[in-house]
Amino acid sequence: MSHSLIQIETQGEHGEIAVVRLHRPSKRNALNDALILAVRNAFAGLPRSVRAAVLCGAGEHFCAGLDLSELSERDAGEGLHHSRMWHEALNQVQYGPVPVVAALHGAVVGGGLELASACHIRVADETAFYALPEGTRGIFVGGGGSVRIPRLIGVARMTDMMLTGRVYDASEGERAGLAQYLVPAGGALDKALELARRIATNAPLTNYALMHALPRIAEQSADHGYLTEAMMAAIAQSAPDAKARVRAFLEGRAAKVKKS
Ligand code: 1HE
């Protein structure tokens, strides 16, 4: 499946991996309204065979953020609805049908970092750099960044990035928690695909719990979190899939945990 601004391809024997590629390289994958809606539609409409997805960008950069040429004459009400449209699209990435691994390279800035933050795992190559130029452009994040980015790197680091225009390089970004994996230049997509293939073999209910229960438990009080955890654990372990996997280990048919 392919739209002009976004390309979607499935991989794997049963089409279990989707690669969703932002495809507006001449504008560094800047997110105009059409592209942000295409992102929403891509994740809302993934084929049912898909168990894990990779999100990447065409060209030299992952994403240059909001298309600044569209930031023209919106009044306050229009700005509110525009931001809510971004929220809806990025929520579709975070709370869509399957875990999403972001493969990052080059600029991961502004709304591009907001989009990467909505993914479940981020893999960056050595060319990646991160910034929130909203601060210096006289605007504010509007794609959920003020909610998601502090959860990755803390309020103090995000405040610094926005107040001073600080740019994190790839290794600083990995140390700060913006990416979970750092790989050589050109290697992000392959690593992201390797992780997605592994994720696709998990029991679907486990992936569901990690996408939908874990982030909510992390927002609950400890007391409420323990109860939600117990209920999620009970549901996950009751699935035939879980029982079969545990039996396979006990009968010596499943892999042991090994140091890598
Ligand atoms: C753009 C955009 C854009 C590039 N909107 N058109 N984001 C920013 O403030 C980042 C702005 N972009 C940059 O700093 C640089 O473009 C990059 C570091 C990402 C890439 O540099 P480079 O040298 O590879 O490309 P370029 O020559 O700067 O850009 C190539 C073309 O893309 C050029 O257009 P052309 O018609 O002259 O060829 C650029 O104008 C265009 N382009 N980035 C529009 N962002 C939900 S709220 C989120 C708020 C934000 O995201 S604010 C942060 C916006």
Q: Which of 93, 94, 112 is nearest to 40 (CA)?
A: 93
Q: Residues 92, 40: contact at Cβ < 8 Å?
A: yes
Q: Which two three-digit tokens encode residue 260?
A: 């890598």
Q: How many angstroms is it from 27 CA to the middle of ligand 1?
A: 6
Helix 145-153 and helix 155-164, axial crossing angle in degrees, nearest 10: 120
* Catalytic residue flag (residue 134): yes
pTM beyond 0.95, yes or no: yes
Residue showing tokens 């993934």? 46
Q: Is the minimum distance from the CB of 149 to ligand 1 under 6 angstroms?
A: no
Is 30 in contact with 67 (CB distance < 8 Å)?
yes
Tens digit of pLDDT at every position of the chain (260 positions): 445 899 999 999 999 999 999 999 999 999 999 999 999 999 999 999 999 999 999 999 999 999 999 887 788 999 999 999 999 999 999 999 999 999 999 999 999 999 999 999 999 999 999 999 998 989 999 999 999 999 999 999 999 999 999 999 999 999 999 999 999 999 999 999 999 999 999 999 999 999 999 999 999 999 999 999 999 999 999 988 888 989 999 999 999 999 97
Other CB atoms within a 10 A radius of the CB of residue 181 amount to: 19
Choosing from 28, 74, 136, 146 the residue with most ligand 1 atoms within 8 A of its CB, the one to mutate for a pocket test is 28
Q: How far apart are CA 8 and CA 11, in angstroms?
A: 10
